[in-house]
Amino acid sequence: MKTIHMIVLQARRYDPLLLMMALILAACDPGNTARPPVTPTATETQIRAPAPPDTLRWSLDGVNQLPSLDPARPAGVQSNTLIGLVFGGLIRLDEKLEVQPDCAVEWTVSADGTVYTFTLRENLRFADGTPVMAEDFVYAITRALQPETASFGAPSQLSHIVGAADVVEGRATQLAGVRALDQRRLQITLDGPLAYFVAQLAYPYTFVVPRTLVEHGADWQSRAFGTGPYRVVEHRAGESVLLEANPHYWQGMPGIPRILLLFNPDSEQSYQRYQRGELDIMGNRDNPVPAARIEEARMRTDFRSAAALTTRYIGFNNRMPPFDNVLVRRALAQAVDKNQAARDILADTVIPADRILPAGMLGTQIELRPLAFDPAAARRSLADAGFPDGRGLPTLTLTYAIEGDNEQVVQALQRMWQDHLNISVVLEPLQLEAFIKKLDITYFTPENGLQLYLSVWGADYPDPQNFLSLQLRSGVRNNNGHFSSVDFDRLVAEADRLSTRSEIERRLQLYAQAEQIAIDRVGWLPLFYPRFNVLVHPRVEGLVLTPIGLVAPDWSKTRLRAGSGE
């Protein structure tokens, strides 16, 4: 996912649970061109509020249109919510964040840590009843890497699969490192051991998409299905997506027959709709219960909260003056009072961030030196950069997405930089989709990109590599700000390859050293670690709030209790 949204996990200290947390949400995918065209189901009904009482009304906060449902091209937390309901993976996490089989019932790893062999469940089927075979995974993973798919993150995340670069660059149409041994066994070969590889399979890039669905027409996402608990039966533009239970789901028929996902661009709008009884669930990781409503929400019995493996931060375009100067970046960082902002602006719904890795992430038990709030030091840094008391510094533009409490946060930053550094910062609000596009532009053509931006990163998978190597290593696609350090790159490259249990302490020490470099050189200005605050109606049974979101340990046991559903 791009540097704005994603999924999360955490733990306070290293223990066996953390290793198990490092695996989740993977996928399965099809590839048999002989299958017949997909036809819509007979239950494509037109649902408008109030929905029938057997329908779960779930708010997709932060969007006003259908998010991407293509596992090869996820586009934010809302997109991942939908993808997770419709598609499945090789593995999944349960409510304790422990690894459990999903499409794969078991897997083995070679002695050198480079060859993974997965065995699929017997009688595994897509939601249309078509059998799922190992070749379907070959198709899915290859498709995610093909240039015509235009996946932003798959080429980076899956780059260590043998032959991935050949597919990405158009030199090959077959992915050498992924092959079907037979109908139920899939083998994936890496170019070297990777400690985090199984964890990466938790993210949608390897999720199964039926070939016949994708090749049937450009509108396939409006009636998408996979191996997940639900399938899409209706998309109402600008309003909602209706899902119905997958009768072929491997856990059994989901206990909630239908889910109506309603678009709500603003979390306050979503909160009001929940208050009026129009929703059963509101709030997500990036658009939680609004801070202005948190005190009243906390008094409700349907309020739920969990820590999120997420860091909200300020990003700098290191290729654009004046942020090509580390002293300017440091001055802005030292002038931000995160404690005050967390208390006065966000009503203590977040934890002030003193490092890049979110609190509770594997590795955060190793202490680092934060870049603390120090206005005097900030002014010295700015003067040393050649801009004493802000003189000569051009007007800066801080860009942000219009969602949640972003506006209050950027206004607070604007005041702090004016008060402590005497510099002017212009605020540039963009719709979320436009903001994400500008992040892409900042990566590909930094001279035409953003100068300074408020963003958020939630873990695709619970490993330090996902925040450090995948975000701040030179040249990687998620490094929108083009931070670059030879020493940082060397440290994370070594840490990424340490894959055995005996090497875990060394691995975490290397990541800690790299993170300290990124803090000192202000690769990011980390601001807050959010909490995942949501409202879930008491009639909803079987969903559990975890740091990765709302999950169903067993979809066949989910229920909507009798009572008010309107």
Give tens-digit pLDDT for 429-443.
998 889 989 999 999
Count of beta carbons in the 10 Å neighbourhood of residue 258: 22
Surface-to-core class of residue 64, CB atoms within 10 Å of its CB (0-12 exposed, 13-18 middle, 19+ buried): middle
Q: At what angle do helices 326-334 and 375-384 cross, to 10 degrees?
A: 160
Q: Which of 58-72, 83-97, 508-522 has the lowest mean pLDDT?
A: 83-97
Position 45 confidence tier, pLDDT thresholds 50, 70, 90: very low
- What contacts 48, CB < 8 A, 6 or more positions away? none
Residue 28 has pLDDT above 70, yes or no: no
Q: What is the mean pLDDT of residues 464-471?
A: 94
| Superfamily of domain covering 310-531 | Dipeptide-binding Protein; Domain 3 (3.10.105.10)
pLDDT at position 62? 85
Distances (CA, A) of 48 to 51, 55, 115: 6, 11, 50
The maximal CA–CA distance of the chain, rounded, in angstroms, is 70
What is the CATH code of the structural domain delimited by 16-262+537-560? 3.40.190.10
Residue range 127-176, pLDDT digits in tens: 999 999 999 999 999 999 999 999 988 998 899 999 999 999 999 999 99
Q: At what angle do helices 375-384 and 406-421 cross, to 10 degrees?
A: 70
Does the N-terminal peptide bond of residue 36 adopt cis geometry, omega within 30 degrees of 0?
Answer: no
Residue 471 has pLDDT above 50, yes or no: yes
Residue 9 has pLDDT above 90, yes or no: no
**CA angle at 198 for the pair 194 and 202, rounded to the nearest 5°:** 135
Residue 98 has pLDDT above 90, yes or no: no
Return d(Cα 224, Cα 125) in angstroms, integer.
14
Residue written as token pair 């036809």: 39
Q: What is the mean pLDDT of residues 481-492?
A: 97
User: How high does pLDDT run on average in the chain?
Assistant: 88
Residue range 84-95, pLDDT digits in tens: 999 999 988 777
Count of beta carbons in the 10 Å neighbourhood of residue 351: 18
Return d(Cα 66, Cα 96) in angstroms, integer.
30
Give the residue with greater pLDDT, 96 vs 297.
297
pTM listed for this prediction: 0.78
pLDDT > 90 in the chain, percent: 69
Residue 212 has pLDDT above 70, yes or no: yes
Domain spans in the chain, listed from the N-terminal domain onward: 16-262+537-560, 310-531
Question: 16-262+537-560 with 310-531: one CATH topology?
Answer: no
Residue 508 has pLDDT above 70, yes or no: yes
Residue range 221-255, pLDDT digits in tens: 999 999 999 999 999 999 999 999 999 999 999 99
Residue 48 has pLDDT above 60, yes or no: no
Return d(Cα 468, Cα 514) in angstroms, integer.
8
